[in-house]
Structure 1
Amino acid sequence: MIASLAGVVEHAALDRVVLGVGGVGLLVHTTPATAAASRTGSQLLLATTLVVREDALTLYGFGSVDERDMFETVQSVSGVGPRIALAMLSVMGPDDLRKALSEGDTKALTRVPGIGAKSAERLVLELRDKVGHAAPGTGSAPTDAARGGGDDWRAQVTEALTGLGYSAKQAGDTVSAVAREHPDERDVSTLLRLALRGLRT
């Protein structure tokens, strides 16, 4: 397994980055927060996992080992594939996800696009005793946070939210609320986490 990658960011999109490693550009799928924090030309270290299918080899990268391990853990549940696992980590992060699973908070889990009541119950049933409790200092905040000028962050955060499955109205209303509550914040990764937190309440 490819456990980590270190290289130069050649390109960053909504939920993926192209990482230049040894003269090869590797496409790595990741959370919107990690992608937003990846600046072209900067060095980036990702904890990774390789998902092997008959027709594809797909790399997934994360800002922390804890995030990657949770990505792999939730896929042990029937019906949860890489796409749903990535959405769970994009919306909740590893600590909040671990807390929801260990406490049986199915309501929090169903706020993830693609997770219904039955899926949430199955996740809790199968993983409650496996994930433990959130450990301090294991958050997934990536390094090299991307900072944008003016209101450029609004479009990036809105695109990230709609890409996760939220409606355009939900995304727009949440972004407006975040802008009102945090008028001086310009860090895209931080603003995305604030928006996701708002959608979970």
Structure 2
Amino acid sequence: MISSVRGTLLSLAGSVAVIEVGGIGLAVAITPQHALSLRTGSEVTVHTALIVREDDLSLYGFADRDELSVFDLLRGVTGVGPKSAMGVLAAMTPDEIARAVNSENDSAFRKVSGIGPKTAKLIVLSLAGKLVAVAPSPSAAAPQPIVRDSVVQALIGLGWNEKSAQDAADEAISSAAGAQRESVPALLRLALSELGPSAVREGAAR
């Protein structure tokens, strides 16, 4: 089992990161939000799950062990394969998944592409009692500047102007709860939701 990978990020193509380890480039499937937090040429560490099938070996990578643990739990649900599990993690943070399960909110999972009503209910039933959400803290400390800067730079890289990126990052931070405030992927998800598909990008205006 390959439980983690550390090396130089050679390339990013969509949600597939190629990481060089000992002269070998390993293709690792990651979520879009995770991809936005990575930079080609930098050293990265991802926690991984190796999925072995008769005709395929696939590596799935995660920013932290919480995401990896939730991925493994999701794969244990009947009807949820690795790609569907990644789809859930692309749409929801581990805390959001835990809260949805604990509140028996299967509709949260039905919003994920590829997850139908029956599978959504199975996720809630199968994961009940297995996840603990971090309670929001009203006095939570502000995130480190580097976290905010990473979110802003990622948004600028996607085409939004600096002012829009900064506003969206600040809004995401203010609405984030608990560990989300220190998670670049979680804040990016919130910021992109705040900006919406109709936002006017600087690149598109030029």
What is the aligned partner in structure 1 of residue 176 from structure 2? none
Q: Compute the TM-score of the two structures, normalised by the length of structure 1.
A: 0.73
Matched-pair identity in %: 37
Alpha-carbon distance in structure 1 between the residues aligned to 2:62 and 2:94: 11
1:194 has 2:191 as partner: yes
Alpha-carbon distance in structure 2 between the residues aligned to 1:116 and 1:198: 27
Alpha-carbon distance in structure 2 between the residues aligned to 1:145 and 1:26: 25
Where do residues 68-87 of structure 1 align in structure 2 (5 Å cutoff)? 68-87=68-87
Q: Residues 46 and 69 from structure 1, CA distance in 2 versus in 1: closer, same or farther, beyond 3 angstroms?
A: same
Contact conserved, 1:7 with 1:21, CA < 8 A, in 2?
Answer: yes
Q: Residues 198 and 105 from structure 1, CA distance in 2 versus in 1: closer, same or farther, beyond 3 angstroms?
A: farther
Other structure's SS at 1:71 match: helix
* Superposed CA RMSD: 3.0
The amino acid across from 2:84 in the alignment is I
Where do residues 158-173 of structure 1 align in structure 2 (5 Å cutoff)? none
Contact conserved, 2:4 with 2:47, CA < 8 A, in 1?
Answer: yes
Where do residues 86-97 of structure 1 align in structure 2 (5 Å cutoff)? 86-97=86-97
Where do residues 38-49 of structure 1 align in structure 2 (5 Å cutoff)? 38-49=38-49
Q: Residues 148 and 125 from structure 1, CA distance in 2 versus in 1: closer, same or farther, beyond 3 angstroms?
A: closer
The amino acid across from 2:168 in the alignment is H
1:153 has 2:158 as partner: yes
* Structure of higher CA gyration radius: 2
Alpha-carbon distance in structure 1 between the residues aligned to 2:195 and 2:110: 15
Other structure's SS at 2:95 match: helix
Deviation at 1:135, TM superposition (A): 3.3
Deviation at 1:49, TM superposition (A): 0.6
Report how many residues are paired: 168
Q: Residues 197 and 126 from structure 1, CA distance in 2 versus in 1: closer, same or farther, beyond 3 angstroms?
A: farther
